[in-house]
Amino acid sequence: MKILIANRGEIAVRVIRACREMGIPTVAVYSDCDRDARHVREAGQALHLGPSAAARSYLRIDGIIDAARRSGADAIHPGYGFLAENPLFARACRDAGLTFIGPSPDAISLMGSKTAARAAAIRAGVRVVPGTERPLDVRVFDEEVAAIAETIGYPIVVKAVAGGGGKGMRTVDEPSELPAAIRTARSEAGAAFGDTSIYLERRLARPRHIEIQLLGDGFGTVLPFVGRECSTQRRHQKVVEESPSLVVTPELRRQMADAAASVARAVGYTSAGTIEFLVDEDGSFYFLEMNTRLQVEHPVTEMVTGVDLVQWQIRIARGERIDIDPARALTPHGHAIECRIYAEDPDQGFMPSPGLVSAIRPAAGPGIRDDGGVSAGYTVPVHYDSLIAKLVAWAGSREEAIARMARALGEYQLLGIRTTIPFFLWLMEQPEYREGRYDTTYLDRLLQSRRGESFSRLAAGDQDLVTMAVGIDAFMKAHGRSQSGTDAAPVTHWLQAARREGLR
């Protein structure tokens, strides 16, 4: 087997690591601005795809299939994003005689339609959030949508049928807001997914977002894992994930795992996938959607179960049978937290902050995992999403994992561009986070209450230290490394000893 990774950034590096551990040769693909990217340097082979714009490189199905042919790869790992949930791509791989490391094209298409996925969940006997079961395309008048909304009951959420990542999603508290929400949801969905169809769901009062990772093989085995708590979201985008969830009892864990597995079985699911649920305050849970790919936050599951999900995706694609003990997958060992480090400036409303990474020294040490995608000298491009690294902390308990994450965030050095590290340092100190008192909108409320105060505000002593350091830095730059009378370059005792040795 030789695997071409049809992706870039941290996830391409992650897949290459799994392949190298398994002794499988790798092929990277890259666009113009990614020539010096880490995934290109760490793969065994690398082929140029085209210009930087994703539509002309990482999203080109024909270009990627051609790169696989030219490099001799016989399998393709799509990562997440880009073509990972495009059934045409999975089908094109199959038609070209390549193994697509993921589910079948049919499973991708079925679960890609949010209304079809809801119908599949209902057929599998799993509760869904009350809402419309059919897509409402442009031919459905706003008045008709409003009548349906009345039967569901406000507040409601308007969502894109082809949606994902919070795009084309609007919350509506009262009927008067509905027409505007329909308009913006349709327009965003059309721009992002080429499909303006929407559907409606009732908005739960204070739900948590908890999802179940699973693996399915070609022999009918579906293995659910302990859940991931993903309620820490900024504008519907996950920023921190952890496992296990504080509110999930062993009994609820079993129920959610069973529900997730029955949905996956109902659609004949293979490879890694995730079923997302909303969990109400009373512990009722509702199917939200299924992601038919590896998720960004898969490392937290790996850390608490010791199962390498990427390696298992590859083994399943090779035709192997899952032989993981189901109890191991469902029993969390310790606690893991992931922070998504984005190239965004938290002090400017999380504005993108692409640019040159002048130096990077990721956190390390006990219980820390850095899934990074950039290195010093690399320019984070404007063309793709802003995730540059995922920092994961594992410890025996949640409290220790939070302390470890705070330690690691303080240690992480990434110079030249702004990142969300200062925001995470702040979040780890918030009582709402530390006590796990949250739902999917608590972070937005918490951020609003800060009214733009800087996340990087220094303690008085630290400001003094930075001021002195900048002064000394300016002095050194103005005067060179040293003055007359001292060596131009400091000579260590070891070097002096080595010179004496050489003279002897």
Write out the residues near other proteins by the rule CB under 8 A: 343-344, 348, 351-356, 358-359, 361, 376, 382-386, 409-419, 421-422, 425, 454-458, 462-476, 478-479, 481-483, 486-487, 490
Among 293, 369, 404, 418, the active-site one is 293
Closest distance between other proteins and the C-beta of residue 408, in Å? 9
Q: Indicate the residue among 36 and 106 with the shorter CB distance to other proteins.
A: 36
Q: Indicate the residue among 286 and 424 with the shorter CB distance to other proteins.
A: 424
Closest distance between other proteins and the C-beta of residue 385, in Å? 5
State the SS3 of 133-196: CCCECCCCCHHHHHHHHHHHCCCEEEEECCCECCECCEEECCHHHHHHHHHHHHHHHHHHHCCC
Count CB atoms within 10 A of the CB of residue 328: 14
Torsion of CA 243, 8, 18, 388, to 10 degrees: -40
Say if CB 307 and CB 301 are below 8 A apart.
Answer: yes
Q: Is 293 a catalytic residue?
A: yes
Beta strands in 381-436 (DSSP E): 387-395, 413-415
SS3 at position 428: coil
Strand-pair partners of 405? none
SS3 at position 477: helix
The residue type found at 258 is D
Question: What is the distance between the alpha carbons of residues 274 and 286, in angstroms, rounded to a whole number?
Answer: 14
Q: Indicate the residue among 30 and 384 with the shorter CB distance to other proteins.
A: 384
Q: Indicate the residue among 155 and 352 with the shorter CB distance to other proteins.
A: 352
Closest distance between other proteins and the C-beta of residue 441, in Å? 20
Q: Indicate the residue among 147 and 465 with the shorter CB distance to other proteins.
A: 465
Q: Indicate the residue among 475 and 494 with the shorter CB distance to other proteins.
A: 475
SS3 at position 50: strand
Question: What is the distance between the alpha carbons of residues 89 and 292, in angstroms, rounded to a whole number?
Answer: 13
Closest to 162 (Cα-Cα) out of 125, 126, 136, 127: 136
Is the backbone peptide bond immediately before 366 cis, with ω within 30 degrees of 0? no
Say if CB 57 and CB 384 are below 8 A apart.
Answer: no
- Residue 130, Cα to own-chain centre: how many angstroms? 27
Q: Indicate the residue among 116 and 406 with the shorter CB distance to other proteins.
A: 406
Closest distance between other proteins and the C-beta of residue 489, in Å? 11
Question: What is the distance between the alpha carbons of residues 437 and 446, in angstroms, rounded to a whole number?
Answer: 12
Q: Which residues are catalytic?
A: 293
